[in-house]
Amino acid sequence: MLLPWEYGVRNLFRRPIRSLLTLAALATVIMLVFLMVGFIRGLEQSLVISGDPDVVLVYSVNSEESLENSAIAARTPELLTSSLSGIVQRFGVTHISPEMYLAARVRTQDGHSGFGLVRGVKQTAPLVRRSVRLLEGQWPGPGEVMAGQLASTKLGTPVESLDIGRTIEMEGQAWRVSGTFAAGGSGYESELWCNLGDLQTAAKRQDLSLVAALLEPGASVAEIQLFCKQRNDLELRAIRETDYYASLQQYYRPVRMLAWVVVTLVAAAGVFAGMNMMYGAVSGRIRELAMLQAIGYRRRAILTSLVQEGVILAAAASLLAGAIALVFINGLAVRFTMGAFVLRVDGVAILIGCAVGLTIGVLGALPPALKALRQPVATALKAV
Amino acid sequence: MPVVELQDVCKSFRKGGEIIQPLRHVDLRIESGEFVSLMGPSGTGKSTLLNLVSGIDQVDSGRIVVDGTEVTTLSRSRLADWRARSIGYIFQTHQLIPVLTAYENVELPTLLLKQSATERHRRVDLALEAVGLADRAAHYPRQLSGGQEQRVGIARAIVSHPRVVVADEPTGSLDTDTSEQIQELLQRLNQELDITMLMVTHDADVAAIASRRLLLDHGKLLETDLNEPGKTAAG
Ligand SMILES: Nc1ncnc2c1ncn2[C@@H]1O[C@H](COP(=O)(O)OP(=O)(O)OP(=O)(O)O)[C@@H](O)[C@H]1O
Ligand SMILES: [Mg+2]
pLDDT of residue B180 exceeding 80: yes
Coil/strand/helix, residue B181: helix
Whether B176 is in the pocket of ligand 1, judged by its Cβ within 6 Å, is: no
Q: Where residue A345 falls among pLDDT bands split at 50, 70, 90?
A: confident
Is A239 domain-assigned? no
User: How many independent structural domains does chain A possess?
Assistant: 2
Nearest CA owner, ligand 1 atom 5? B13
The residues near A145 (Cβ < 8 Å, ≥ 6 apart) are: A118, A168, A175, A176, A177, A178, A192, A193, A194
Q: Are residues A302 and A333 in the same domain?
A: yes
Cβ distance of A298 and B91 shorter than 8 Å = no
- Looking at the structure, tell me whether residues A34 and A91 fall in a common domain: no
pLDDT value at residue A75? 87
Do A116 and A265 belong to one domain?
A: no
Confidence of residue B234 (pLDDT cuts 50, 70, 90): very low
A61 and A209: one domain? yes
Residue A223 lies in a domain: no
**Pocket of ligand 1 contains residue B43 by CB under 6 Å:** yes
Give the contacts of A335 (CB within 8 A, at least 6 positions apart): A153, A154, A156
Residue A224, in any domain of the structure: no
Same domain, A62 and A145: yes
Decide if B57 and A288 are in contact by the 8 Å CB cutoff.
Answer: no
Q: Which one of A216, A240, A271 terminates a domain? A: A216
From A13, A296, A300, residue closest to B112, measured CB to CB: A296
Flag whether A238 is in a domain.
Answer: no
Tens of pLDDT, residue by residue over B11-67, are 999 988 899 999 999 999 999 999 999 999 999 999 999 999 999 999 999 999 999
| Residue A292 and residue A370 in one domain | yes
> Does residue A64 fall inside a structural domain?
yes
Of A216, A241, A261, the one marking the end of a domain is A216
- A157, A88: one domain: yes
Looking at residue A55, its pLDDT comes to 92
State the burial class of residue A178 (Cβ atoms within 10 Å of its Cβ: 0-12, 13-18, 19+).
Answer: buried
Read off the pLDDT of residues A300-324 as tens digits, 9 standing for 90 and up.
999 999 999 999 999 999 999 989 8
Burial of A371 (0-12, 13-18, 19+ CB in 10 A): middle
Contacts of A1 in chain B (CB under 8 A): 111-112
pLDDT in the model for residue B69 = 93
Please tell me the distance in Å from B222's CA to the nearest CA on chain A. 24
**Domain shared by A101 and A35, yes or no:** no
The reported pLDDT for the residue numbered B34 is: 95
Residues A159 and A127 placed together within one structural domain of the fold: yes
A136 and A88 housed in the same domain? yes
Q: What percent of chain B has pLDDT over 70?
A: 95
A134 and A20 part of one domain: no
Question: What pLDDT does B226 receive?
Answer: 56
Cα separations in angstroms, A238 against A66, A107, A222, B125: 14, 34, 9, 83
State phi, psi for A218 to the nearest 5 degrees.
Answer: 85, -15
The range of the structural domain enclosing residue A92 comes to: 55-216
Q: Which of A200, A216, A232 is the last residue of a domain?
A: A216
Domain shared by A94 and A210, yes or no: yes
Contact B179, B171 (CB under 8 A): yes
CATH code of the domain occupying B32-55+74-223: 3.40.50.300
- Asked whether the ipTM of the predicted complex exceeds the cut of 0.85, the reply is yes
Interatomic CA distance for residues A46 and A49, integer angstroms: 5
Determine the pLDDT at residue B42: 92
Residues of A in contact with B94 (CB under 8 A): none
Q: Is the CB of B92 under 6 A from ligand 1?
A: no
